[in-house]
Structure 1
Amino acid sequence: MAKLLVAPDEEPRRRDDSSGNSGFWASFFLLTLISVGTGAFVAFQSVEMTKESLSAEYERSRNQPAIELNYEDNARLRKLDPLVTNLAAPTDAWVRVKASIVLSDEFTDDVAVLTGHIEEDMLAYLRTLTISHLEGAVGLQHLREDLNERAKVRSNGQVHEVILESLVIQ
């Protein structure tokens, strides 16, 4: 019977691993240097672009007013007395509203009389509300819009806005 596998007479020669190993480390070191250089370059460019955009934004903001108001330059702010009343339902629930109004400067009538009429209108309106009307952000927005509309009608358009400072329901 013939031998299928024949063993060689001499042992296979082993490669010298030191030359292959040094090539690996040289390429690893070269790739690391390239990566560090690329990362430093990108970081430097990012810092420079950020500095340029921030300085441009700062220059633009210096030329603009800090707050852009929706009112005329000659508008006046007038505080109203705190309003305390009970709600329509439940009857033992009370509401306290602290507000201000923004008047145009052309208003020539007595401001105290106008604020008194606006406070009366606000009290009358608040007495018709229930707690469910005032719940959530939507309820607060509807209250704000209704009070603004009532104040504008009462003042013949001389009141620009009613600003709600606080609203407490107890």
Structure 2
Amino acid sequence: MFGLPAGNELTFRGWLVTVIVCTIIAVGLGAGLGLKLVGQIKTTEQKQAVPMTGPAPKYGADTGLIDLPPVITNLANPASAWVRLQASIVYDKKAVPKPQLLAAKVAEDVLAYMKTVTLAQIGGASGLEHLREDLNERASIRSDGHIRELIIQSVVVQ
């Protein structure tokens, strides 16, 4: 065939079969990959079609936020250490007719509490967490449960 000797004819046929087999494999792999990519694109489009909603708000629309006046006092131990605490309260608007009055009462209670705290009690992350929990409990008691949370904005000890 094509003027080649008889021994080379088998080699040419073997080469031709190899090329055809490789072509068939390449077409099959290409088709499989194409189908997989189309499936992924459809899945991505379906995910994007679903409206993304953020996490539910922690507090409802019936809550208000009010800043407490800064509390500046000395600590119980060492007596030379001063602390400044700034906080806000999240309260129930429907249950609290005068939030400014409640904020003043809570600030007074925070002041009285901070005078009993030592520097060792509020040191570190766990101390700050305990302080937050104690102040939240006191604020809730002072407001008959109408304060949902007392948020500590800053604590400075000097």
TM-score w.r.t. the length of structure 1 is 0.71
- CA drift of 1:43 comes to 0.5
Deviates more, 1:111-120 or 1:46-55: 111-120
Q: Secondary structure at the match of 2:110?
A: helix
- Partner Cα distance (1:130, 1:157) in 2: 29
- Partner Cα distance (2:75, 2:27) in 1: 75
TM-score w.r.t. the length of structure 2 is 0.75
Q: How does 1:123-134 map to 2 (within 5 A)?
A: 123-127=111-115, 128-131=117-120, 133-134=122-123
- CA drift of 1:47 comes to 0.7
Question: Is 2:37 the counterpart of 1:48?
Answer: no
Structure 1 residues 80 and 34, CA, compared in 2 at 3 Å: closer, same or farther?
Answer: same
Render the CA deviation track for 1:47-74: whole Å, top value 9, x for unaligned: 1012112212x1x73xxx8742334x33
- CA drift of 1:93 comes to 4.6
The answer (yes or no) to whether the contact 1:144–1:164 under 8 Å persists in 2 is: yes
Render the CA deviation track for 1:51-102: whole Å, top value 9, x for unaligned: 112212x1x73xxx8742334x332221112223344455555433221112
The answer (yes or no) to whether the contact 1:90–1:131 under 8 Å persists in 2 is: no
Q: How does 1:4-15 map to 2 (within 5 A)?
A: none
Name the % identity.
29
Aligned to 1:120: 108
Structure 1 residues 15 and 87, CA, compared in 2 at 3 Å: closer, same or farther?
Answer: farther
Structure 1 residues 91 and 43, CA, compared in 2 at 3 Å: closer, same or farther?
Answer: farther
Query: Structure 2 counterpart of 1:100, which letter?
Result: S
Q: Any stretches of 5+ residues in structure 2 without a counterpart?
A: 1-6
Structure 1 residues 53 and 90, CA, compared in 2 at 3 Å: closer, same or farther?
Answer: same
The answer (yes or no) to whether the contact 1:87–1:131 under 8 Å persists in 2 is: no
